[in-house]
Structure 1
Amino acid sequence: MIRKLPFVFVLLLGLSLLPAAGAFAADPIPNIGITIGGEDATTGGSSTISIILLITVLSLAPAILVLMTSFTRIVIVLGFVRTSLATQQMPPNQVLIGLALFLTLFVMSPTIGEINQVALQPYLKGELTQTQALEQAAIPMKQFMGKQTREKDLKLFLDYSNAPKPTGIEDTPLTVLIPAYAISELVTAFKMGFMIFIPFLVIDMIISSTLMAMGMMMLPPVMISLPFKILLFVLVDGWYLVVKSLLLSFNT
């Protein structure tokens, strides 16, 4: 009898709410409509297209950040540092990506300032149209990417697209310059990563040879070499040297 009490209680509660539910159902639900924009039908399509384009640009913002700035080189080199140290997840991914973002902002600050001066501020003042502002904003980005892009990579995409040879970096299409810049950044980042690996590889070889000579075959060399690699990295002020090398690599 005690187990049936909750079911009876729920049944009585439902029966007591039936009149209120019937009264609520008797009243018609009002129609609610939401209209975005004015009453002019000619501007509705353009507003919708503008919203769609804005959402598309926002969805492509991570790709723009990765492929058109210094973020790619910085985050790859920092990843190589962690891999060469063999510290697993130390520093964590959040720390590496955060450091890469702020270093990217620091490296790109002259370019961002130039874009603000020649494109954004004139556009906000009404001196440039949206198309003209985008064209002016693309010039500083092209100049930055052009300094870091290898000629062979740029020639590869120019030849493949059968595009006419540009007279300058400002005339190079972004569809050609962006992939060429991305490949060049990968090559540069891997070169820097190889140079970072060399001293830690030497430590691993020394530790492995020493353990083998002592007959300690079952002891993993990584466990012994890890403290020595961390000690070497701290003694030479490794993070300072890595960040300094990254900053100097963008000034060449």
Structure 2
Amino acid sequence: MILAPAWRRLRAAIAMPLALLMLMSLSSAAAAQGLPALSISSGPEGTTWSLSLQILALMTALTVLPSLVLGMTAFTRIIIVLSILRQALGTQQTPPNQVLIALALFLTFFIMQPTLGAVYDRALDPYLQGTLAPEPALAEATSIVRGFLLQNTRSRELLLFSELSGTGPYETEADVPLSVLLPAFLTSELKTAFQIGFLLFLPFLVIDMVIASILMALGMMMLSPMLVSLPFKLLLFVLVDGWSLTLGALVSSYGQGM
């Protein structure tokens, strides 16, 4: 039993050089025979990538897609506001996280529909039809997305990150690089989300304070004020049609300059 760890270390030390040697032999054999699945050919029609490289590029893009959804759309503001609203109601895990994420995603698609529609009409569809080259299509799509980001980014955050990067000030909106615009947009979204969350929290905080004062006046200090105030907060939220007001305020907060 004592020699078992030492034997495992010795076996690993022997297996590592053998594995490296095998990989080197396989790579040299592949280099000698060639790997047509990973080939890149250039011709009169341009550069052609093999199917394996196209699949690799697609899988890489899919791994980056969640970050793009979080960082370049309205998802961040919506999910933060909904999370603060649930905490203000005091309903613990109701609605559950899956419902909040689904609601935030669908509301994000609703808000981003004009931008996504413009990207499809002016960049993606002409590229798929073969009337627009990849580089101009990418530039057109980037310009449309940049317009949305600039429209919903505060000038203070944009100035901050431009000074930190040492590349500002910029003469036109097209000169703002995405490396500066994206963190400025996210910071602005966080600030706006917490401002909306603060306004949502106030009426429920007043209800909690009133219920706590009443319970203390009645001498019921052992009874949890959160438990008693929960039905009143739910009743208030339902009577004022809170979901429609909250989601309507989130939708109307976009599309206007700040």
What TM-score do the two structures reach when normalised by structure 2? 0.79
Q: Matched residues in 2 for 1:172 and 1:50: separation?
A: 30
Identical-pair percentage:
49
1:120 aligns with 2:120: no
One-letter amino acid of the structure 1 residue matched with residue 158 of structure 2: L
- Alignment CA distance shift 1:189-1:220 (3 Å): same
Deviation at 1:133, TM superposition (A): 1.3
Deviation at 1:141, TM superposition (A): 0.7
1:71 aligns with 2:75: yes
Deviation by residue 1:195-220 (Cα, 9 ceiling, x = unmatched):
00000000000000010111111111
- Alignment CA distance shift 1:215-1:103 (3 Å): same
Task: Summarize the alignment of residues 17-36 of structure 1 with structure 2, pairs less than 5 Å apart.
Answer: none
Correspondence for 1:226: 230
Correspondence for 1:208: 212
Equivalent in 117, 139, 144 of residue 143 of structure 2: 139
One-letter amino acid of the structure 2 residue matched with residue 104 of structure 1: T
Task: Summarize the alignment of residues 78-227 of structure 1 with structure 2, pairs less than 5 Å apart.
Answer: 78-227=82-231
Deviation at 1:240, TM superposition (A): 0.7
Deviation at 1:143, TM superposition (A): 0.6
Deviation at 1:41, TM superposition (A): 6.5
Aligned length: 217
Question: Does the CA contact (< 8 Å) of 2:162 and 2:168 recur in 1?
Answer: yes
Deviation at 1:157, TM superposition (A): 1.3
Q: Matched residues in 1 for 2:40 and 2:97: separation?
A: 49
Q: Matched residues in 1 for 2:111 and 2:200: separation?
A: 21
Q: Matched residues in 2 for 1:240 and 1:174: separation?
A: 34
Deviation at 1:234, TM superposition (A): 0.4
2:231 aligned counterpart, secondary structure: helix
**Structure 1: any 5+ residue segments left out of the alignment?**
1-34
Deviation at 1:191, TM superposition (A): 0.1
One-letter amino acid of the structure 2 residue matched with residue 162 of structure 1: G
Deviation by residue 1:174-227 (Cα, 9 ceiling, x = unmatched):
111011000000000000000000000000000000101111111110110000
One-letter amino acid of the structure 1 residue matched with residue 232 of structure 2: F
- Alignment CA distance shift 1:98-1:36 (3 Å): farther
Deviation at 1:54, TM superposition (A): 2.4
CA RMSD of aligned residues (A): 2.0
Q: Which structure would you say has the larger Rg?
A: 1
Q: Matched residues in 1 for 2:37 and 2:131: separation?
A: 26
What TM-score do the two structures reach when normalised by structure 1? 0.81
**Structure 2: any 5+ residue segments left out of the alignment?**
1-34
Correspondence for 1:16: none
Pick which of 94-103 and 122-131 moved more: 122-131
1:237 aligns with 2:229: no
Q: Matched residues in 2 for 1:59 and 1:132: separation?
A: 24
